[in-house]
């Protein structure tokens, strides 16, 4: 009889059933399992017209991200960290709002796993940040982290990483470029050794790309990395004009050029 029971419990704890989400917030640290999150009173089905990770319409079981962010203020800053070290930097404000673009934490049901992102790849689970009406507040593709394992409250990027800051007398274009850098690049790249990402190369040390990309090759690279260097394992996504307008791209490059003169030695 006991053996029968043990076998029964073994069956209940099959692999895949125990995905954890760790929340480190001003209100404290807690870990929630996907099973607990799938019981959340605000759980609902969310339709995503143009899913960023799957590149097609998708439907997820999800809860409003705001429902998890106890004690978080609009002026706070959050980081969502994925299995592969991708660390999306997110101002809390759009995550908390209930109008305009809305943020949802999609939860993979281990008994009905999501499809693979590509052949030889795993899916977007266990947790994935998706947005409804992303265009309203200009939410970019780097604000859709997938395979999320933790959400952490943090001080702002500027406070945590002074080595990323432009000079005090930097002009408005450079400051705007710094904002674009945080929104689009910092999730994968460090600069001056500063940042939490471990995915792409440092963009200032030992050399800044504005120092060795001639002509307009840097903007062409950012638009479409494979147009410059093509190999199957290339991981950097291209940034289309819808994501980063020509003006914003020039601001971003202006920030990078400015930082070439501010190397952390
Ligand atoms: C999803 C992660 C990711 C994002 C976001 C990203 N990059 Fe990259 N980037 C990479 C990786 C990885 C490489 C190394 C080449 C590769 O695998 O594609 C790279 C390479 C580069 C290089 C080439 C460096 C060299 O000398 O070969 C530049 C320049 C660059 N990135 C700039 C940027 C800028 C600017 C942004 C923001 C607009 C950005 N990247 C956003 C991942 C990313």
**Cα separation values, 212 from 185, 200, 202, 215, 224, Å:** 19, 17, 14, 10, 17
Mutate to test the pocket of ligand 1, among 143, 186, 189 (most ligand atoms within 8 A of CB): 189
Looking at residues 171-183, what average pLDDT do you find?
A: 95
Confidence of residue 72 (pLDDT cuts 50, 70, 90): very high
| pLDDT band per the 50, 70, 90 thresholds, residue 16 | low
- Where does the pLDDT of residue 17 fall: very low under 50, low under 70, confident under 90, or very high at 90 and above? low
Average pLDDT over residues 43-55: 97
Confidence of residue 86 (pLDDT cuts 50, 70, 90): confident
Q: What pLDDT was estimated at residue 13?
A: 39
63 lines ligand 1 (CB under 6 A): no
Say if ligand 1 is within 6 A of residue 146 CB: no
Rounded to the nearest angstrom, the distance between the alpha carbon of 222 and the centre of ligand 1 is 8
Q: Which residue is closest in CA terms to ligand 1's atom 42?
A: 236
Confidence of residue 32 (pLDDT cuts 50, 70, 90): very high
**What tokens were used for 139?**
């939410």
Give the pLDDT score at 176.
96
Q: Report CA(189)–ligand 1 centroid distance (Å).
A: 7
- Closest atom of ligand 1 relative to the 212 alpha carbon: 26
Quote the mean pLDDT of the chain: 91
Q: Spell out the residues 6+ positions from residue 64 whose beta carbon is closer than 8 angstroms to its own.
A: 42, 98, 102, 103, 104, 105
Give residue 154's pLDDT band: very low, low, confident or very high (50, 70, 90).
Answer: confident
Question: CA 232 to CA 5: how far, in whole Å?
Answer: 50
Does the structure show a pLDDT above 70 at 196? yes
> Torsion over CA of 203, 209, 211 and 215, rounded to 10 degrees?
-160
């Amino acid at each position: 009889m006991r053996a029968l029971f043990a076998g029964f419990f073994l069956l209940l704890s099959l692999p895949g059933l125990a995905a954890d989400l760790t929340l480190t917030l001003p209100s404290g640290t807690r870990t929630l399992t996907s099973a607990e999150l799938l019981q959340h009173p605000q759980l609902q089905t969310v339709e995503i017209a143009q899913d960023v990770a799957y590149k097609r319409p998708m439907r997820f079981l999800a809860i409003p991200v705001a429902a998890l962010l106890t004690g978080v203020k609009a002026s706070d800053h959050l980081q969502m960290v994925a299995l592969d070290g991708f660390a999306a930097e997110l101002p809390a404000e759009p995550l908390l709002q209930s109008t305009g673009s809305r943020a949802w934490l999609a939860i993979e049901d281990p008994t009905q796993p999501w499809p693979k992102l590509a052949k030889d790849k795993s899916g977007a689970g266990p947790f994935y940040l998706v947005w409804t009406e992303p265009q309203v507040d200009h939410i970019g593709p780097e604000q859709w982290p997938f395979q999320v394992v933790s959400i952490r409250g943090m001080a702002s990027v500027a406070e945590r990483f002074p080595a990323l800051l432009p000079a005090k007398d930097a002009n408005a274009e450079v400051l705007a470029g710094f904002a674009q850098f945080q929104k689009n690049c910092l999730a994968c790249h460090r600069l001056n050794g500063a940042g939490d990402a471990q995915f792409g190369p440092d963009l200032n040390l030992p050399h800044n790309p504005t120092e060795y990309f001639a002509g307009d090759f840097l903007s062409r690279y950012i638009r479409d990395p494979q147009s410059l260097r093509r190999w199957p394992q290339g991981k950097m996504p291209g940034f289309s004009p819808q994501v980063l307008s020509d003006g914003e791209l020039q601001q971003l490059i202006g920030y990078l050029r400015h930082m070439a003169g501010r190397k952390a030695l």
